[in-house]
Amino acid sequence: MKILRNYFLKEFISPLFLALGVLTFVMLLGNLIKLTDLVINKGVDIMTVSQLFLFMMPSLLTYTLPIATLTATLLSLGRLSGDNEIIAIRASGINLITLIVPLLIIGTILSLILVVFNDRVIPYAHFSLRKTLIDVGVKNPTAALEPGVFINSFQKYILFVYGIDQKKNRLHNVRIYEPQEGKPTRTIVAKQGEFIAIPEKNMVKLKLIDGTSDEPDPKNPANFYKLNFKTYFMTLNLGKAQDTSEIRKKPKDMTIQELRTEVIKLEKEGVDPAPLLTEINEKISLAFACFIFILLGSSLAIITRRREKSLNFGMAFLIGGIYYLLLIGAEAISLQGYLHPTFAMWLPNMIMGTLGAILTVRLCVS
């Protein structure tokens, strides 16, 4: 029996690392292209880009590890079932549950590790990523801009730039809008612009060349008059907090304990804490997807008896896709207040877990 258990575990571990590596690489690929563009075309230093890369990694593992466990389960047990090894084991009078239990123990261990990971590592990485992006915006503002897109990263102003010369740090055909409550939107148009970064003061100055500006009429501030200029300087703030030490944490940047503290504070103020409760339960329920996927995948692999890797990968993506769609739906229901967050965010696990338990029991007693 011990030999068989070790054999099952050996068949499972190799596909687990293979699937985890492939899935993580695929999900990183899109981000790698953007990070490479920051180095080559936007002049961001390689050390900063390396930091961004490292801070992106943990949040991907939250999703790739459960799918990797499901894929490994389907690949390993699918091969054993396809080669009739499962039939031989059952013919020897060995109950399959005794061989599936070690996989479920691994799933439980991975889930508990992922709970700690989601609680500690990911909030830190997510918050550090935000701070690093703000630092990039202060030191190299053009790196955070895209031509032909409305940019509302700056406090009070909305920018629209038709062209960006990254090498010369120049902007072409710049439009700046300053919405004002109860007044017409102020507009500044310039043929060219140039950012002047002042990192030590956490400031960004914008030098505009050859343009026009809407200026308030001293006699009637509600009206504007056009002012032509050769050179015009503006000071821009990246959001409400320029100093990265003063950036407030968002729910995804908080640990479970920090979220619970915020929940208590909101409840005392009479505010519905559903979004924070949703975040807490999502961190935990998503981690236990590892256990749920092994429970469901082990029975499906034995029943389908498919050893083809492509089919097992396809089945894993299909099941994973259904699970994450259920999770998105559960989150929407929770935030809308139709179900309590604790029940709503565990609903996908309950559905998948119940299905897996039924299939496993039927498989083992038949």
CA dihedral 50, 56, 57, 60 (to 10 degrees): -160
The answer on pLDDT for 51 being more than 90 is no
Least reliable range by pLDDT among 4-8, 52-56, 184-188, 328-332: 4-8
Instruction: Work out the end-to-end distance of the chain between its first and last CA atoms, rounded to an integer number of angstroms.
Output: 20
Q: Please provide the average confidence, as pLDDT, over all residues in the chain.
A: 84
Residue pair 289/323 in contact by the 8 Å Cβ criterion = yes
Give the torsion sign (CA, 47, 49, 52, 54). Answer: negative
Of the two residues 234 and 86, the one the predictor is more confident about is 234
| Three-state secondary structure of 55-88 | HHHHHHHHHHHHHHHHHHHHHHHHHHHHCCHHHH
* Residue corresponding to tokens 């504070």: 265
What average pLDDT score do residues 341-360 get? 94
pLDDT exceeds 60 at position 287: yes
pLDDT at 118: 94
- pLDDT at 181 exceeding the cut of 50: yes
* Chain length of the chain: 366
Dihedral angle sign, alpha carbons of residues 303, 17, 13, 321: negative
- pLDDT higher than threshold 90 for residue 28: no
More confident residue, 225 or 237: 225
- Residue 83 predicted with pLDDT over 80: no
At residue 222 the predicted structure's pLDDT band, cuts being 50, 70 and 90, is low
Of 59, 35, 64, the closest CA to residue 124 belongs to 59
Q: Give percent of the chain with pLDDT exceeding 70.
A: 87
8 Å CB contact between 322 and 257: no
Return the amino acid letter for 313: F
Shortest CA distance to 193 belongs to which of 201, 205, 177, 202?
205
For 239-285, the pLDDT digits (tens) are 544 444 556 788 889 999 999 999 999 888 888 899 999 999 999 99
> 144-169: per-residue pLDDT in tens?
677 777 777 677 888 888 888 766 67
pLDDT attached to residue 142:
64
User: pLDDT-derived band of residue 200, with 50, 70 and 90 as boundaries?
Assistant: low
Centroid of chain to Cα 48 = 19
> Could you tell me the pTM of the whole model?
0.76
| pLDDT bucket at 221, cuts 50 / 70 / 90 | low
Task: Give the C-alpha distances (Å, rounded to integers) separating 285 from 65, 116, 195, 305, 345.
Answer: 14, 12, 45, 29, 7
Start-end of H helices in the chain: 2-40, 46-82, 85-91, 97-116, 122-139, 256-268, 274-287, 289-304, 309-336, 341-344, 347-365
The span from the CA of 259 to the CA of 345, in Å, is: 16
Q: In the chain, what are the domain boundaries? A: 2-138+250-365, 154-237
For residue range 298-331, list pLDDT tens digits in order: 989 888 777 677 788 889 999 999 999 999 999 9
CB 135 within 8 A of CB 204: no
